[in-house]
Amino acid sequence: MKNTIFAAVLLLALSSAPSFADPVDIPMSDEEIALLANLKAQKDFLGMLRLWEETESTTDIGAELRDFPFEDVMPALRVGLLSKNSGIAGYCFRWLAVFQDKYAFDYVYQRVFPPPLADDKRKLAIEIAKDLGNPDFHKRVAAREKLIGMGAGVVEILTPLMKDDDPEVAFAATLIIAEVRPPIRDWEIDNLHYFDDPRAADILRSIIVTGDSHPLWLVGYAIGALGWRGTAADGEIIRPYLDAEWPSHAIHALGRLKDKNSVPRLIELLDDNRLVQNAVWALGNIGDSRAVPALEEHLAKVVEPSLKRSFIVALARCGEKKHLRDALANMPESNMGYELFEACGNDEIELIRNRLANTKDANLQVAMVLTLSRLAPPADQTAIRTIKTLRAKSKPPSEYDVDYFAIALIKLGDKDEENAILARLKDKNPRVRVGAMRTLGYTKDPKYFPVLLEACNDRESYIIIEGGPTHEVRETAIAEFSRIGAKNSWVWLWSLNPDGQIAEIKAWYAKYQEQKAAEQKPGEN
């Protein structure tokens, strides 16, 4: 009975924690738009943020600020973190995060890890906490009130007690933490992965470990983010959430972390129709052969084509490829998908060649051609002839589109194809130049950095669709330079005007060249 009472008290505490307005997007009036333009002309960024808040509008804040050097707007964005409109606060935090702003990071870190108590107060808090499980009800209540009065510094002491064997102590510790620690917001957790600071993972771990003091959806955000930022050891704290009400975040995170200890429970989740797709993906990503019997058993019962492909791919990644080879040889074209080819290895090259010769679907052709270029050895003439024969029979891409056949041939070392694409960079038609840049970008080969950097000077305008907006050729050069693998590439695409983007690219490329030179062995040209 007492557990039920404390659970009710805990839910009440969480529901009464400070809340923030949901993001809204209310169009501005003509008068407000004119006022915004005037504030922008004066570079009154704080005034712009206040206007957005007053009008309850978050209409493309990024587009309005993009024309200015980021350092000019940073002070206003820091103030924007405190906005009651969570849409505005979220925009500000994301912008600050991608530019590694220490203030924004510490804004979250210091709420998750409050300054510890002084030694004397810490010793006192430890003594007081011993009464959280006291048989005397009045002493328990007094202990809780005293600890709450000591502030956020008690979080460090109470966190281990959330797992105490005495449920009275565990509930009390959870209740106090929820009371004294300022709330963490979903957009803060969702954008933490932009920070290079290794302490970002510590924040996520803390939220997961103290999960009972947070709403479950927030813990889910933290689990999902830790799947990207964490290490194999983090499986230990994520695994219990496989038994949560909705464990999809935990399933994906454990799959990314390749947590072999979660395999038995993931196999059990194959029987849950809500989660089977997630569980299959995770088992395939982990690649543990123990999952093969269960995956084969379920595959025999599956009818839906996309789920069937998921099982086949998972089995292949767990070491059993007979189902993959059967699919490459016999599966109806309408039921096939690109994920089958991602699971292929060198042993499947001949099957891919045979299937490619008889495939009519253009998307499947692209998937197989790119797979062939990934698996075949460099300068493999058989693969090159196969791809060229198929291309001669296929509808050519438009001048603007990515040429996937060219990408495959370039990856196989076809110099004639590479020279043809490079020549298109000098074509008089800007759409042809754009198509060539996009094709080189999709090769993701760093050797094309120099030509794309040169193309960043191409200011000629063109349109993609008749009547559509005008673009500069250099915008594509920036995007494809970024696609090849430059760090924080999306910052260049969305947070600055083209001149600012190009300045960032040049600065990054100079550092890239220095790093490559430093990695070069002595005496190597």
CA–CA separation, 281 and 438 (whole Å): 31
CA–CA separation, 200 and 230 (whole Å): 10
pTM across the whole model = 0.81
- Residue 26 is classified by DSSP as P
111: which 2 tokens?
Answer: 């709420």
- Which pLDDT tens digit goes with each residue over 95-109? 888 778 899 999 999
Residue keyed to tokens 């690109």: 338
- Which pLDDT tens digit goes with each residue over 304-325? 999 999 999 999 999 999 999 9
* Helix H or strand E encompassing 470: strand 470-472
Residue keyed to tokens 């103030």: 79
Q: What is the predicted pLDDT for the residue at 6?
A: 35
Q: What is the predicted pLDDT for the residue at 493?
A: 53
Q: pLDDT exceeding 70 applies to what percent of the chain?
A: 90
Residues of the chain with pLDDT under 70: 1-27, 57-63, 66-67, 70, 486-496, 521-525
DSSP string, 44-68: -HHHHHHHHHHTT--TTHHHHHTTS
- Which pLDDT tens digit goes with each residue over 29-60? 888 888 888 888 888 888 888 888 787 765 56
Q: What is the predicted pLDDT for the residue at 465?
A: 77
Which has the closest alpha carbon to 368: 334, 403, 335, 404? 404
| Distance between first and last Cα of the chain | 77
